[in-house]
Amino acid sequence: MVADFLVIGSGVAGLRAAIGLSGAGRVLILTKGSPAEGSSIYAQGGVAVASEEDDIALHRDDTLRAGKGLCREAAVQVLVEEGPARVQELIGWGACFDKAGEGYAFAREAAHSRDRIMRAGGDATGTEMVRALLAQARSLPQIAWRDHHFTVDLLKDGEGRCSGALVLDESSGAVKPVTARAVVLSTGGAGQIYARTTNPPVATGDGIAMAYRAGATMEDMEFVQFHPTALYLPATPQFLLSEAMRGEGGILRNIKGEAFMGRYHEMAEMAPRDIVSRAIWNEMVATSARHVYLDVTHLDPGFIRERFPTIYATCLRYDVDITEEMIPVCPSAHFMMGGVWTDTHGAASIPGLFAAGEVACAGVHGANRLASNSLLEGLVFGARAAEAAAAYAKGTESLRDGSKAWKAATDAESRSDQLAMEKLLNSLRRLMWAKVGIIRNREGLLSALVQLEKWEERLKGRRQTRRELEIQNMVTVGRLVATAALQREHSLGAHFRSDFPDEFSAGWDRHIQLSASAGGAVRVV
């Protein structure tokens, strides 16, 4: 297969990139599974954009403050300046956001100083944004789709430029090359490396792992955001309970029924996510509990059902009526602040490779993402990556399908140790949660790295089923997170070291970069 542009992933960032590229040539979107399985559709809270009563300078300052000074200011400025126009563009394509009278309804979430969160369907913002983007993308004849196509690895030409990808057709098992003038990675995050995560099953870090193997630079991999409030019930999915619930007056209580956030931060429930997550963790340890409670029973039941219809219906399905009883919650891995390093135009360190969305690290989030900036990032940097990829492609010649296909294993070979692979995956997720999770220390990180490196060696060269490829990618991403976390010997934002609890120690403002092209060396910039 040959295309002018290859977009890997079909969330908000990927769809916006594909739409932008459609005017410059033939675009092929690859999605493992189906577009309905990605993380974007699960985004509940909303999209942060300065309202008429707000100011982009305040949005910028809130983002920088939440990021603990580690954001790249140029990237944040791009986000807040271009964000409003991108949201209006989306509205022009048919996105329907909730109204309040004649205007749009704006809510507030943690660490925001103003009401600037636009939402759709109460708590279904991501779903609505993806719907509108999908409709727009599917109306464009230059965009082609390949669902159920898993990207195995990136391809490079003789001059080291990214020239496409090796792709597994999940239906037939065939593995073939797809060549392109430029590639945009928009594969999302890697929450599945943790035992508890709000991410869907497809969030296995594939884009980060394949870009790393290709020699691209990774940055800020130690910063993994844990969402404070995911539903905690035995044998139920780890369903996200939007931060907007606390923004509307929800109270966190320990198992004794005590409100505790006032002891940890002056903003109480509205403190940044890293502080709230650690406060919950501390309360769980202090009370020997596996969860705390989120209490909205003091709010009007009709308001709760209207404002949070998805959350209300989902909890009710599991016999929790949130208007009458407190909700058991526990922190869960939620968002990767680090990823494939890019400049403010989405260009990675490999010529011809671009990245946008959660897979990328343009420096917008720093050490701790401000709530509801992720969907905005996907829109803004998806569009920017498209512009940069189109400009880059003008200087490249048409590519031919000249790469050799990779030989897949037979079904019998793939099935022979399927259970062993699942056992390895479960062990990986428990290891990451226990030793590379909310609270870390040198001893735990070193022991985790020893085991991760053993697993990487065991999986080396095993390129068979989609599942085995995903597990290989998760082990690689886990090692990158642990390696960077070991190097940062202080606490900052989402990265907390119990052996180095002080913030802003010497070198706090440096970025940790990792690159396989440098022999896996760590670089501090």
pLDDT tens-digit readout, 160-209:
999 999 999 998 999 999 999 999 999 999 999 999 998 989 999 999 99
Q: Please write the tens of the pLDDT for every residue from 491-504.
A: 999 999 999 999 88
Q: 450 CB contacts (<8 Å, ≥6 apart)?
A: none
Task: Please tell me the distance from the alpha carbon of residue 203 to that of residue 225, in angstroms, as a whole number.
Answer: 14
Tokens of 83: 């964000």
Those residues whose C-beta lies under 8 Å from the C-beta of residue 258, and which sit 6 or more positions away, are none
Residue 403 has pLDDT above 50, yes or no: no
Q: How confident is the model at residue 29, as a pLDDT?
A: 97
Closest CA to 111 of 366, 467, 428: 366
Query: HEC string of 424-441?
Result: HHHHHHHHHHHHCCCCEC
Conformation bin of residue 410: beta by default, left when phi > 0, alpha when psi is -120 to 50: beta
pLDDT of residue 107: 83
Residue range 202-231, pLDDT digits in tens: 999 999 999 999 999 999 999 999 999 999
End-to-end CA distance of the chain: 39
Confidence of residue 249 (pLDDT cuts 50, 70, 90): very high
What's residue 402's pLDDT? 45
Buried b (16+ CB within 10 A) or exposed e, 223-252: bbbbbbbbbbbeeeebbbbbbbbbbbebbb
pLDDT at 409 over 50: no
**Token couple for 206:** 């594939």
Does the pLDDT of residue 405 top 80, yes or no? no
Mean pLDDT, the chain, as a whole number? Answer: 91
Q: Which residue, 97, 98, 91, is CA-closest to 135? A: 91
Is the model's pLDDT at 96 over the cut of 70?
Answer: yes
Which residues belong to the active site? 273
- According to the model, what pLDDT value does residue 43 have? 66
DSSP tag of 169: E
Parallel, antiparallel or unpaired: strands 292-295 and 106-107: unpaired
- More confidently predicted of 249 and 2: 249
CATH, range 231-333: 3.90.700.10
Angle between helices 466-487 and 206-214 (to 10 degrees): 70
Q: Tell me how crowded residue 4 is: count the other CB atoms within 10 A of its CB.
A: 22
What is the structure's pLDDT at 404? 47
- Lowest-confidence pick of 194-198, 274-278, 385-389, 520-524: 520-524
pLDDT per position as a tens digit, 323-354: 999 999 999 999 999 999 999 999 999 999 99
Class of the CATH-defined domain 411-524? mainly alpha
* Amino acid identity for residue 35 in this structure: P
- Give dist(CA 187, CA 203) in Å, integer: 8
Q: Where are the domains of the chain?
A: 231-333, 411-524
Global pTM? 0.91
Distances from the Cα of 306 to the Cαs of 92, 136, 186, 285, 515, in angstroms? 25, 29, 33, 35, 48
Given a cut of 80, whether residue 70 has pLDDT beyond it is: yes
Supply 452's token pair: 């991760």
The tokens for 221 are 């991999």
